[in-house]
Structure 1
Amino acid sequence: MTVNEMAASAHAANTLIDAPALWPAQGHTPTVVGRQLVIDRGEGSYVYTDDGRRLFDGTAGLWHANIGHGNPELAQVAHEQMLKLETYHTFARFTNDKAVVLGELLAGISPIERSKVILNSGGSDAIDVACKLARRHWQREGRTTKKIILSREFAYHGLHAYGTSIAGLEFNREGYGTESLVPETARISFNDAAQVEALIAQVGAKNIAALVTEPVQGTGGVNPPEPGYFEAIQRLCRQHEILLIVDEVITGFGRLGTMFASERYGLEPDMVTFAKGVTSGYAPLGGVLVSPRIWEPFYVDSADTPIFRHGATYAGHATASAVAIRHLEILERENLVPRVSELEAVLRTALTGLAQRQGAVTEVRVAGLLGGVSLAGHLNAVQICDDLIELGFISRPLRGNTLQISPPFIISDEELTGYVAAIEHAIVERENR
């Protein structure tokens, strides 16, 4: 290497070292630093960069901005709550009024009858609590070998220790010195129920505490369930006394045209995790809906009743809870969940046409207002997403060279078809280069 080449290399390294202090999330730093888009404003289905670009938010942030950006009603409710009481913890004898009200509202719409509600700060928190509670349940029952948590290939369940451990995306589990941060985990097929049955037999049902699944896989590529898959999964869970945990962090609160995807697919979970859509991202909030089978032993009026040691400083945060309460009112008042069913038909028609016209589109998948567009290998989903930015639209590359489609519920039919048209334009332009 020449002196000039070494100097250039050192300069490049220093450029990265001197980058902004904020560490980019989920990004390859050398290819991200210097190219980041700074979003400083949002309005409806659009966001704006600090250099003045207007972008259609085709991913609703990270699947969460269901009622769009900049809603003044939610901002006002947060302002008023902070002036009254920003928050107070919910440990032991203490709670706060907004957390109590939200708990009742969530129990009332839960796909689990007579559910109790554990509140926390997000989806990763919720997964950690649900997996711990599954193990706690079986230990309390005296079934001490039931420790293993099953999850599906290509699954994403956040990035806390448990979420990392049960990830079905291998790259999220790599680099920590062991195959799984929490050792008692195993992956099952994402669509082959016979393979799931075989793995249960191999591992031994006596060793399995729970099975965790997304109703529709999100980051894994927008994968709806194969016909009959969930019916078989539920049968196996009942037959082998395996708790069923349904991760509705993305699909909850209307994303599939029902309040919870469990309703759409006829799922009867023991626990449901939720986050994102409960506030449309206006405040960080998540939680777990828990079935009577699990919570009742912790509510027995006895000195011997066990304690489940869950809870965090911001669990049941009063301002976040106030925002969630008003957000649920908006969903109902504006009929946004039924609107998703209408938009699903529009999206399905648009994507079917796209696949018919463009041979570079190998598959399209739709469930509610979730869409995935898989591309042939000669195209790169990352590059297509970059091209879409230049056209004024946001998508995101997912597993399987797939483009994410998950815009806010408030979009018009024309905006949705225009978004798909922009994707087609970007594909055609890449094909012609």
Structure 2
Amino acid sequence: MSHIAKSRLTQAQLDAHWMAYSGNRQFKKDPRIITAASGKYYTDLDGRKIFDGLSGLWTCGLGHSVPAINEAVAEQVKTLDYSPAFQYGHEKSFLLAEQITEFMPEGLNRIFFTGSGSESVDTALKIARAYWRKKGMGTKTKFIGRAKGYHGSSISGFSVGGIPANRTLYGQGLESYHLPHTQAPGTEFTKGMAEQGKERADDLLNLIMMHDASNIAAVIVEPMSGSAGVIVPPQGYLQRLREICDQHNILLIFDEVITAFGRMGAKTGAEAFGVTPDIMTTAKQVTNGVIPMGAVAFKQEIYDTFMEHGGPDYLLEAPHGYTYSAHPIACAAGLASLGEIKRQGLIERVNNMSAAWGDSVHQLKEADSMVTDIRNFGFAAGISIAPIDGEPAKRPFQIAMAMWDKGYYVRYGADTIQLAPPFTTEPAEIDSLINALGEAIKQTE
């Protein structure tokens, strides 16, 4: 019996849904339908247990169906299902904002709520531009991103993003320029941060020389590039970016939609790599993926600038926000999710297990000659796969499908396989995941 028949979905129903970031034509020939999730496992139409090797989409570090989150959401639905986001408030948004600041580096203590990572990036970029206008420097409008960077799917996100497949179809975006990525030749199969490559940050000086700091609002980078395949910064690189931005009066934005709240074995990527940005975008793990939500952390000076130049106190200091900003149910989920991360000591657990995780992942170097690079940090890893001429994404797709058949969900993107297991993953589960991936790579064309 086909998966279409088992799912009781008609072809018309399948066709009605234009799926996000999916090969719709291939998927709808033989749908991979997930029916349930619990702990570290999904269940598919056949009743098979599928190990979640990417924590959802980098979202579910606590695993699935977490009782504390389920109970918090259920109680919130019964108590206050929705509250207007503009001009009125509810208690949990303020409680969650304070809770988030406890995870932030010192000074990032003003939280703006969004509905997703893409909205968080859009918020950060808009506020960066507005900040300079409030400061009387309205020419500072340009942005600098980085090659292989991913900053969501909004028009601003793809503009500062640096993954070609996400940009070329859509034409002109915001005026933005790009630093080179940090995946340097000679650093293949490095465990953690490479010793060489810091000098790549100095390319920012060339862009500043070309466009002048008086025209540049912000530099935005992921501390660790996740969607491009876990590209880890070299030692000293982020510190050098911070130094250059300070020297030239440019804001530094860290996109931590993937790296915040434990994935790096630290509260944030900023903490893990020892650099504090002016603005930090977050989402995903803030609610453990249960309810869409994002949050942007700003340093107090940015917030104070808006308050001081806001006019009469009944006026809007920043005309920006979303219908679902600080949604009550999302706030309840966020409080429970961050509470469980602290209660279970999961950041410390990830930090303690990250070396063993890296050792296990790097065993794949011996799996097959088509493995051309492996990168890891915290509980994340990217494996580069030698491309077929003209079809760089084909082998990763084949490997991911073989893994699904074996009972493992992993992410494939461009020429990489990406792994990010739940924070509670046990050593035996890591071994099982890596062994299965080694077999899947060997059986691929």
Indicate whether the TM-score tops 0.5. yes
In 2, Cα distance between the equivalents of 1:373 and 1:120? 32
User: Is structure 2 residue 443 aligned with structure 1 residue 429?
Assistant: yes
Determine the C-alpha separation between the residues in 2 that align with 1:265 and 1:352.
21
Q: Deviations over 1:237-289 (max 9, x none)?
A: 00111101101100000000001110111111111000001111011111100
Alpha-carbon displacement from aligned partner over 1:384-412 (angstroms, at most 9, x marks no partner) = 1111111111111123x111110111111
Contact (CA 8 Å) 2:218, 2:250: kept in 1 or not? yes
CA distance, structure 2, for counterparts of residue 19 and residue 409 of structure 1: 34
Q: Which amino acid aligns with 1:244?
A: L
Residue identity opposite 1:240 in structure 2: H
Q: Which segment drifts farther, 408-417 or 342-351?
A: 342-351
Change (3 A) 1:105 1:298: same
Kindly provide the amino acid, as one letter, of the partner of residue 335 in structure 2: I
Q: Please tell me the residue identity of whatever aligns with 2:412.
A: P
CA contact (8 A) 1:112 1:270 kept: no
Which residue number corresponds to residue 41 of structure 1?
36
The question of 1:372 aligning with 2:382 is answered yes
CA RMSD, Structure 1 to Structure 2 (Å):
1.8
Report the Cα offset of residue 343 of structure 1: 2.6
- Alpha-carbon deviations, 1:1-48, whole Å to 9, x = none? xxxxxxxxxxxxxx9877431111112322222232111100111101
Please list, as runs of the form range in 1=range in 2, the aligned pairs for 1:45-84 lying within 5 A after superposition: 45-84=40-79
Specify which of 267, 272, 283 is matched with residue 275 of structure 1. 283
In structure 2, the gaps of 5 or more residues are 1-9, 183-199, 389-393
Instruction: Provide the residue aligned with 2:159 in structure 1.
Output: 165
1:323 aligned residue = 333
Partner of 2:406: 391
Tell me if the contact between 2:131 and 2:306 (Cα under 8 Å) persists in the aligned partners.
no
**CA deviation after TM superposition for structure 1 residue 365, in Å:** 0.5
2:180 paired residue number: 189
Structure 2 equivalent of residue 31 of structure 1: 26
Aligned to 2:104: 110
In 1: Cα distance, 2:129 partner to 2:69 partner: 37
Give deviations 1:208-228, integer Å, cap 9, x for gaps.
000111011011111000222
3-state DSSP of counterpart to 2:15: coil
Deviation at 1:96, TM superposition (A): 0.4
Question: 2:248 aligns to what?
Answer: 240
Whether the 8 Å contact between 2:108 and 2:278 is mirrored in structure 1 is no
Give the drift of 1:374: 1.2
Runs of 4+ aligned residues of structure 1 deviating over 6 Å after TM superposition are 15-18
CA–CA distance in structure 1, aligned partners of residues 43 and 330 of structure 2 = 25
Q: Which amino acid aligns with 1:49?
A: D
CA drift of 1:100 comes to 1.1
Query: How many residues are matched?
Result: 412
Distance 2:351 2:24 in 1: 39
Listed as ranges, the matches of 1:146-161 within 5 Å are 146-161=140-155
1:145 shift after superposition: 1.1
Contact 2:68/2:340 (8 A) holds in 1:
no
Alignment gaps of 5+ in structure 1: 1-14
Moved more, 64-73 or 192-201: 192-201
TM-score, normalised relative to structure 1: 0.91
Take 1:406 and 1:302, find their aligned partners in 2: how far apart are those partners?
Answer: 43
Q: What's the counterpart of residue 4 of structure 2?
A: none
Q: Report whether the alignment pairs 1:98 with 2:89.
A: no
Is residue 2:235 matched to residue 1:221?
A: no
Q: Does 1:174 align with 2:189?
A: no
Q: Residues 37 and 43 of structure 2 are in contact (CA less than 8 Å); yes or no, is this contact kept in structure 1? A: yes
Measure the CA separation in 2 of the matches of 1:108 and 1:199. Answer: 35
Q: Give the aligned partner of residue 12 of structure 1.
A: none
Deviation at 1:149, TM superposition (A): 1.0
What is the match of residue 410 of structure 1? 424
Shift of 1:196: 2.3
Q: Secondary structure at the match of 1:273?
A: strand
Alpha carbons 2:311, 2:317 under 8 Å: kept: no
Q: For residue 308 of structure 1, what is the amino acid of its counterpart?
A: A
Is the 1:16–1:30 Cα contact (8 Å) retained in structure 2?
A: no
The equivalent position to 2:115 in structure 1, one of 117, 121, 126, is 121
Structure 1 counterpart of 2:352 = 342
- CA contact under 8 A between 2:367 and 2:441: conserved in structure 1? no
Q: TM-score when scaled to structure 2?
A: 0.89
Q: Is the 8 A contact 2:367 2:442 kept in 1?
A: no
Displacement after TM superposition at 1:359 (Å): 2.7
| Other structure's SS at 1:262 match | helix
Matched AA of 1:136: A
Q: Following TM superposition, by how much is the alpha carbon of 1:98 offset from its aligned partner in structure 2, in angstroms?
A: 0.6
Please state whether the residue corresponding to 1:34 is helix, strand or coil.
coil
Partner of 2:296, secondary structure, is strand
